[in-house]
Structure 1
Amino acid sequence: MAIRSIVESDLSGKPDAATATFGLGDTWYEVDLTPEERKKLEEALEPYLKVGRKARQAAPTKKRVVPKTTIEERDVIRAWAKKNGYELAERGRIPRKIMKAYDEAHGIDRSK
């Protein structure tokens, strides 16, 4: 048995549409358009595309995920780490591998 997917236009509801992706500012959009609707969109954008230039893609910024902990909890984690043979500084960020080991040893799930 074959399964067939039909994509309908977001504008007209007509079948045989395809997804078009475009951006404005820092926002990207997707819209399902028939070939005729896509052509109209391209015609509307044509004056801007002629004088525009392709933007350089910015380097992705890494989001630093810092677990929410209190000063007291960090002190407890540092004490636990030292007691269990881990080396770490008295101050500063607690290494991820130590946080992970502490969380696993204590059944803590910080993904929530």
Structure 2
Amino acid sequence: MRKVQVILIDDIDGSDADRTVQFGLDGTTYEIDLNKDNAAKLEKALAPFVEKATKVSSARAAGGRAKRTASGRSKAAEVRAWAKEQGIAVPDRGRVPNEILEQYEAAH
């Protein structure tokens, strides 16, 4: 029989930690093991910012996919039409290759 025991150590002062705290900033999620006192200090320090912040869904916080705009689709159609006029092979669907976009930008 085997027994695995996980002991949390406070990342700030090396004492026994009570929990792992997760927080995020600028699109990055962090975890830190803290005792009750240090967790309270972190919560107190962040409280004024959390109070004024807008909570976002986990998909958006994790870098959820941005929706394509109508202007993005119309530009792709414009680039495809230009490429075909220039005799450049371009796919009818999907992403326009970067080299074709660069040629289009250079010509305009």
TM-score by length of 2: 0.49
TM-score by length of 1: 0.48
